[in-house]
């Protein structure tokens, strides 16, 4: 689904990503964990075309997407749930979702657009109840549901999520991760960036640990959960 080789990204003279190589297979949840400033958000933004890459290779569904426009990448089936949700506060819930379905609208696939809207409402019934409400008046958890739903409206092959648990109450976080697991179980592919390493590894198939722009550890989630260095640095455990 996604293959990255020797990817490097810089902001001016500051190199943020250093020779990143990784892959995501169809139907997987793959998580990227790491501290603030490790380069996690930059990695997702580079994949999605929001930030230009300096060098390397990015393939999505066997197509070269290196430094393609974000619009083209979304049209190819790769969508992003951004950090901080970034819903359009002055627009209604339904209008936000329709914006997410721009790809289907442009292709004149109104029937499929309506079907995807119903799928989102089935996934998040509260959004159906609030479809005419301004997005800015929703709770943090509801806004995160809307951000995920908006991304799903493009009917993506792979959905990338940037810190979906940020700023949410523990019970809401459990609900969000339950949804992420459900997406995978329904056949979707998910690339998940999270600081909540324990929760992310608890639902992911595999993981990568990013530190100062480099991947330092990778492997099946259960291996990372058992890794003493990962435990010390990211899981808050004391290891004997």
150 and 88 in a single domain? The answer is yes
Of 155, 185, 217, the one marking the end of a domain is 155
95 and 126 in a single domain? The answer is yes
Two tokens at 80?
């992003």
Query: How high is the pLDDT of residue 236?
Result: 66
183 and 222 in a single domain? The answer is yes
31 and 70 in a single domain? The answer is yes
How many CB atoms neighbour CB 226 within 10 A?
A: 11
pTM for this predicted structure:
0.92
**Does residue 65 register a pLDDT over 80?**
yes
Rounded CA-CA distance 60/7 in Å is: 14
29 and 91 in a single domain? The answer is no
Range of the domain at 151: 84-155
The total number of structural domains that make up the chain: 2
Two tokens at 44?
């997702």
Of 99, 132, 155, the one marking the end of a domain is 155
Q: How distant is the alpha carbon of residue 231 from its chain centre?
A: 23
Residues facing 181 on adjacent strands: none
Query: How high is the pLDDT of residue 102?
Result: 87
Query: How high is the pLDDT of residue 87?
Result: 94
Contacts of 145 (CB under 8 A, 6+ apart): 124, 126, 127, 176, 179
pLDDT digits (tens, 9 = 90+) for 110-151: 888 999 999 999 999 999 999 999 999 999 999 999 999 999
181 and 240 in a single domain? The answer is yes
Rounded CA-CA distance 80/161 in Å is: 6
pLDDT band with cut points at 50, 70 and 90 for residue 239: very low
Query: How high is the pLDDT of residue 240?
Result: 41
pLDDT band with cut points at 50, 70 and 90 for residue 233: confident
How many CB atoms neighbour CB 225 within 10 A?
A: 18
42 and 1 in a single domain? The answer is yes
Q: What is the CATH number of the domain that holds 224?
A: 3.40.50.300
122 and 178 in a single domain? The answer is no
44 and 8 in a single domain? The answer is yes
**Does residue 232 register a pLDDT over 90?**
no
pLDDT band with cut points at 50, 70 and 90 for residue 85: confident
109 and 163 in a single domain? The answer is no
Of 137, 155, 173, the one marking the end of a domain is 155
């Amino acid at each position: 689904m996604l293959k990255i080789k020797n990817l490097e990204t810089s902001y001016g003279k500051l190199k943020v990503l250093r020779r990143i190589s990784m892959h995501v297979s169809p139907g997987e949840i793959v998580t990227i964990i790491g501290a603030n400033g490790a380069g996690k958000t930059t990695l997702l933004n580079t994949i999605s075309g929001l930030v230009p890459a300096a060098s390397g290779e990015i393939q999505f569904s066997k197509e070269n997407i290196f430094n393609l426009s974000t619009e083209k990448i979304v049209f190819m089936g790769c969508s992003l749930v951004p950090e901080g949700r970034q819903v359009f506060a002055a627009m209604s819930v339904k209008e936000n979702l329709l914006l997410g379905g721009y790809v289907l609208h442009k292709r004149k696939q109104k029937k499929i657009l309506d079907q995807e809207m119903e799928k989102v409402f089935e996934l998040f019934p509260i959004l159906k109840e609030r479809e005419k409400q301004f997005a800015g008046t929703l709770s943090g958890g509801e806004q995160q549901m809307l951000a995920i739903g908006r991304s799903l409206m493009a009917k993506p092959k792979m959905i990338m999520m940037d810190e979906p648990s940020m700023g949410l109450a523990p019970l809401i976080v459990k609900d969000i991760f339950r949804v992420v697991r459900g997406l995978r179980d329904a056949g979707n592919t998910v690339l998940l960036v999270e600081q909540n390493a324990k929760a992310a590894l608890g639902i992911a198939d595999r993981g990568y640990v990013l530190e100062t722009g480099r991947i330092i550890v990778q492997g099946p989630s259960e291996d990372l959960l058992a890794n003493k260095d990962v435990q010390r640095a990211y899981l808050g455990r004391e290891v004997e």
